[in-house]
Structure 1
Protein backbone atom coordinates (compact mmCIF):
# COMPACT_ATOMS: atom_id res chain seq x y z
CA UNK A 1 0.00 0.00 0.00
CA UNK A 2 2.93 2.34 0.56
CA UNK A 3 3.72 2.25 -3.15
CA UNK A 4 0.35 3.73 -4.08
CA UNK A 5 0.84 6.94 -2.06
CA UNK A 6 3.66 8.47 -4.14
CA UNK A 7 1.93 7.49 -7.38
CA UNK A 8 -1.37 9.03 -6.31
CA UNK A 9 0.21 12.16 -4.86
CA UNK A 10 2.30 12.82 -7.96
CA UNK A 11 -0.67 12.32 -10.27
CA UNK A 12 -2.90 14.47 -8.06
CA UNK A 13 -0.44 17.37 -7.94
CA UNK A 14 0.10 17.39 -11.70
CA UNK A 15 -3.64 17.04 -12.34
CA UNK A 16 -4.40 19.99 -10.08
CA UNK A 17 -1.78 22.13 -11.82
CA UNK A 18 -3.19 21.10 -15.20
CA UNK A 19 -6.74 21.83 -14.06
CA UNK A 20 -5.78 25.27 -12.80
CA UNK A 21 -4.03 25.99 -16.11
CA UNK A 22 -7.05 24.75 -18.10
CA UNK A 23 -9.45 26.93 -16.12
CA UNK A 24 -7.44 30.15 -15.87
CA UNK A 25 -5.30 29.86 -19.02
CA UNK A 26 -7.49 28.43 -21.79
CA UNK A 27 -4.60 28.59 -24.28
CA UNK A 28 -2.66 26.07 -22.19
CA UNK A 29 -4.81 23.19 -23.49
CA UNK A 30 -2.44 22.49 -26.37
CA UNK A 31 0.53 22.33 -23.99
CA UNK A 32 -1.27 19.90 -21.70
CA UNK A 33 -2.21 17.81 -24.74
CA UNK A 34 1.42 17.62 -25.84
CA UNK A 35 2.47 16.88 -22.23
CA UNK A 36 0.23 13.83 -22.20
CA UNK A 37 1.91 12.58 -25.38
CA UNK A 38 5.40 13.20 -24.02
CA UNK A 39 4.58 11.32 -20.81
CA UNK A 40 3.23 8.41 -22.85
CA UNK A 41 6.53 8.27 -24.73
CA UNK A 42 8.44 8.56 -21.44
CA UNK A 43 6.44 5.63 -20.06
CA UNK A 44 7.96 3.48 -22.80
CA UNK A 45 11.51 4.90 -22.59
CA UNK A 46 12.33 5.53 -18.91
CA UNK A 47 11.78 2.03 -17.38
CA UNK A 48 14.09 0.25 -19.88
CA UNK A 49 16.70 2.96 -19.33
CA UNK A 50 16.47 2.45 -15.57
CA UNK A 51 16.91 -1.30 -16.07
CA UNK A 52 19.94 -0.77 -18.29
CA UNK A 53 21.84 1.65 -16.07
CA UNK A 54 25.11 0.24 -14.79
CA UNK A 55 25.48 -0.81 -11.20
CA UNK A 56 29.13 -0.60 -10.19
CA UNK A 57 28.79 -1.91 -6.67
CA UNK A 58 29.39 -5.11 -4.79
CA UNK A 59 26.93 -7.95 -5.45
CA UNK A 60 23.58 -7.21 -3.91
CA UNK A 61 21.17 -9.49 -2.17
CA UNK A 62 18.07 -10.82 -3.85
CA UNK A 63 16.03 -8.34 -1.82
CA UNK A 64 17.95 -5.45 -3.40
CA UNK A 65 16.91 -6.72 -6.83
CA UNK A 66 13.27 -6.66 -5.74
CA UNK A 67 13.74 -3.09 -4.49
CA UNK A 68 15.14 -2.02 -7.84
CA UNK A 69 12.17 -3.60 -9.62
CA UNK A 70 9.68 -1.90 -7.28
CA UNK A 71 11.41 1.44 -7.91
CA UNK A 72 11.17 1.00 -11.67
CA UNK A 73 7.51 -0.01 -11.29
CA UNK A 74 6.76 3.13 -9.25
CA UNK A 75 8.44 5.37 -11.85
CA UNK A 76 6.48 3.72 -14.68
CA UNK A 77 3.22 3.97 -12.75
CA UNK A 78 3.82 7.65 -11.93
CA UNK A 79 4.52 8.47 -15.57
CA UNK A 80 1.43 6.53 -16.64
CA UNK A 81 -0.87 8.09 -14.05
CA UNK A 82 0.28 11.61 -14.90
CA UNK A 83 -0.01 10.97 -18.64
CA UNK A 84 -3.52 9.57 -18.35
CA UNK A 85 -4.68 12.39 -16.08
CA UNK A 86 -3.35 15.02 -18.50
CA UNK A 87 -4.94 13.18 -21.43
CA UNK A 88 -8.29 13.08 -19.64
CA UNK A 89 -8.03 16.79 -18.82
CA UNK A 90 -7.37 17.46 -22.49
CA UNK A 91 -10.34 15.35 -23.59
CA UNK A 92 -12.59 17.10 -21.09
CA UNK A 93 -11.59 20.71 -21.84
CA UNK A 94 -10.42 20.68 -25.45
CA UNK A 95 -12.57 19.70 -28.43
CA UNK A 96 -9.60 18.87 -30.67
CA UNK A 97 -7.27 16.63 -28.71
CA UNK A 98 -4.46 15.51 -31.00
CA UNK A 99 -2.27 13.68 -28.50
CA UNK A 100 -4.72 12.58 -25.81
CA UNK A 101 -6.11 9.39 -27.39
CA UNK A 102 -2.74 8.19 -28.71
CA UNK A 103 -1.28 8.82 -25.23
CA UNK A 104 -3.99 6.74 -23.56
CA UNK A 105 -3.53 3.93 -26.09
CA UNK A 106 0.27 4.01 -25.75
CA UNK A 107 0.10 3.81 -21.96
CA UNK A 108 -2.45 1.00 -22.12
CA UNK A 109 -0.26 -0.86 -24.61
CA UNK A 110 2.75 -0.44 -22.31
CA UNK A 111 0.98 -2.11 -19.37
CA UNK A 112 -0.52 -4.82 -21.57
CA UNK A 113 2.93 -5.53 -23.02
CA UNK A 114 4.37 -5.63 -19.49
CA UNK A 115 1.76 -8.16 -18.34
CA UNK A 116 2.34 -10.36 -21.39
CA UNK A 117 6.12 -10.17 -20.92
CA UNK A 118 5.77 -11.06 -17.24
CA UNK A 119 3.62 -14.07 -18.10
CA UNK A 120 6.10 -15.29 -20.71
CA UNK A 121 9.03 -14.85 -18.31
CA UNK A 122 7.24 -16.81 -15.59
CA UNK A 123 6.54 -19.64 -18.05
CA UNK A 124 10.22 -19.85 -19.02
CA UNK A 125 11.26 -19.82 -15.34
CA UNK A 126 8.91 -22.71 -14.56
CA UNK A 127 10.07 -24.65 -17.61
CA UNK A 128 13.73 -24.18 -16.63
CA UNK A 129 12.97 -25.25 -13.08
CA UNK A 130 11.23 -28.42 -14.29
CA UNK A 131 14.07 -29.38 -16.63
CA UNK A 132 16.73 -28.93 -13.93
CA UNK A 133 15.06 -31.47 -11.62
Structure 2
Protein backbone atom coordinates (compact mmCIF):
# COMPACT_ATOMS: atom_id res chain seq x y z
CA UNK A 1 0.00 0.00 0.00
CA UNK A 2 1.04 3.54 -0.60
CA UNK A 3 0.30 6.89 1.01
CA UNK A 4 0.38 9.83 -1.38
CA UNK A 5 -0.03 13.48 -0.41
CA UNK A 6 -0.88 16.34 -2.73
CA UNK A 7 -1.29 19.88 -1.45
CA UNK A 8 -1.44 23.39 -2.79
CA UNK A 9 -0.25 26.19 -0.56
CA UNK A 10 2.05 29.17 -0.13
CA UNK A 11 5.66 29.04 0.98
CA UNK A 12 5.77 30.54 4.47
CA UNK A 13 9.51 31.19 4.39
CA UNK A 14 12.47 30.98 2.06
CA UNK A 15 13.43 27.36 1.23
CA UNK A 16 16.04 26.03 3.63
CA UNK A 17 18.84 24.03 1.99
CA UNK A 18 20.89 21.98 4.44
CA UNK A 19 24.10 20.07 3.74
CA UNK A 20 24.37 16.75 5.54
CA UNK A 21 27.51 15.10 6.87
CA UNK A 22 27.60 12.61 4.00
CA UNK A 23 27.70 15.40 1.37
CA UNK A 24 24.03 15.11 0.45
CA UNK A 25 21.61 18.01 0.70
CA UNK A 26 17.99 18.37 1.73
CA UNK A 27 15.57 21.20 0.91
CA UNK A 28 13.00 21.91 3.62
CA UNK A 29 9.89 23.93 2.83
CA UNK A 30 7.28 25.41 5.15
CA UNK A 31 3.92 25.47 3.34
CA UNK A 32 0.64 27.02 4.49
CA UNK A 33 -2.72 25.75 3.24
CA UNK A 34 -6.01 27.49 3.98
CA UNK A 35 -9.62 26.37 4.29
CA UNK A 36 -12.59 28.73 4.07
CA UNK A 37 -16.18 28.12 5.19
CA UNK A 38 -19.17 29.77 6.80
CA UNK A 39 -20.18 28.86 10.34
CA UNK A 40 -23.78 28.26 11.49
CA UNK A 41 -24.28 32.01 11.93
CA UNK A 42 -23.13 32.67 8.35
CA UNK A 43 -19.81 34.24 9.39
CA UNK A 44 -16.83 33.64 7.14
CA UNK A 45 -14.19 31.46 8.78
CA UNK A 46 -10.61 30.64 7.78
CA UNK A 47 -8.15 28.04 9.06
CA UNK A 48 -4.46 27.96 8.16
CA UNK A 49 -2.56 24.68 8.49
CA UNK A 50 1.23 24.55 8.28
CA UNK A 51 3.05 21.66 6.61
CA UNK A 52 6.70 20.71 6.33
CA UNK A 53 8.01 19.14 3.13
CA UNK A 54 11.50 17.79 2.49
CA UNK A 55 13.06 17.15 -0.92
CA UNK A 56 16.12 14.94 -1.38
CA UNK A 57 16.69 14.72 -5.17
CA UNK A 58 19.67 16.81 -6.28
CA UNK A 59 17.97 18.19 -9.40
CA UNK A 60 14.87 19.17 -7.46
CA UNK A 61 16.93 20.90 -4.76
CA UNK A 62 18.73 22.95 -7.43
CA UNK A 63 15.39 23.88 -8.98
CA UNK A 64 14.04 24.96 -5.58
CA UNK A 65 17.17 27.06 -4.89
CA UNK A 66 16.95 28.88 -8.23
CA UNK A 67 13.21 29.40 -8.50
CA UNK A 68 11.22 29.36 -5.27
CA UNK A 69 10.77 32.18 -2.77
CA UNK A 70 8.62 33.00 0.23
CA UNK A 71 4.99 33.67 -0.64
CA UNK A 72 4.86 31.67 -3.86
CA UNK A 73 1.93 29.36 -4.49
CA UNK A 74 3.17 25.79 -5.08
CA UNK A 75 1.77 22.32 -5.62
CA UNK A 76 3.64 19.58 -3.76
CA UNK A 77 3.35 15.81 -4.13
CA UNK A 78 5.00 13.13 -2.09
CA UNK A 79 4.66 10.54 0.63
CA UNK A 80 3.79 11.06 4.26
CA UNK A 81 5.91 10.10 7.26
CA UNK A 82 6.68 11.16 10.81
CA UNK A 83 10.01 12.48 12.07
CA UNK A 84 10.94 12.06 15.68
CA UNK A 85 12.86 14.61 17.74
CA UNK A 86 13.63 15.25 21.41
CA UNK A 87 12.77 18.68 22.79
CA UNK A 88 14.77 20.70 25.37
CA UNK A 89 12.98 18.99 28.25
CA UNK A 90 13.96 15.56 26.91
CA UNK A 91 10.47 14.68 25.68
CA UNK A 92 10.24 12.74 22.43
CA UNK A 93 7.86 14.17 19.83
CA UNK A 94 6.71 13.17 16.35
CA UNK A 95 5.93 15.65 13.59
CA UNK A 96 4.36 14.91 10.20
CA UNK A 97 6.57 15.53 7.17
CA UNK A 98 5.86 15.27 3.45
CA UNK A 99 8.66 13.40 1.72
CA UNK A 100 8.44 15.47 -1.47
CA UNK A 101 8.82 13.89 -4.89
CA UNK A 102 7.40 16.64 -7.16
CA UNK A 103 6.98 20.39 -6.86
CA UNK A 104 5.35 22.82 -9.27
CA UNK A 105 5.18 26.59 -8.82
CA UNK A 106 1.69 27.97 -9.47
CA UNK A 107 2.73 31.62 -9.15
CA UNK A 108 5.91 33.50 -9.99
CA UNK A 109 7.28 36.53 -8.13
CA UNK A 110 8.20 38.53 -11.25
CA UNK A 111 5.68 36.99 -13.69
CA UNK A 112 8.44 35.15 -15.56
CA UNK A 113 8.73 31.38 -16.02
CA UNK A 114 11.19 29.49 -13.81
CA UNK A 115 14.57 28.18 -14.84
CA UNK A 116 14.61 24.47 -15.61
CA UNK A 117 11.82 21.95 -15.52
CA UNK A 118 9.66 21.79 -12.38
CA UNK A 119 11.25 19.49 -9.82
CA UNK A 120 10.64 15.91 -10.70
CA UNK A 121 14.10 14.83 -9.65
CA UNK A 122 15.30 14.39 -13.24
CA UNK A 123 17.75 17.29 -13.13
CA UNK A 124 16.88 18.23 -16.72
CA UNK A 125 16.84 21.94 -17.48
CA UNK A 126 14.14 22.04 -20.17
CA UNK A 127 11.24 24.26 -19.17
CA UNK A 128 7.89 22.97 -20.37
CA UNK A 129 5.11 25.57 -20.18
CA UNK A 130 1.77 24.21 -18.93
Same structural fold, with TM-score higher than 0.5 when normalized by the shorter chain: no
Structure possessing the higher radius of gyration over alpha carbons: 1
Q: Which has the higher strand share?
A: 2
Q: Which has the higher contact order (CA 8 A, sep 6+)?
A: 1
TM-score calculated relative to the size of structure 1? 0.28
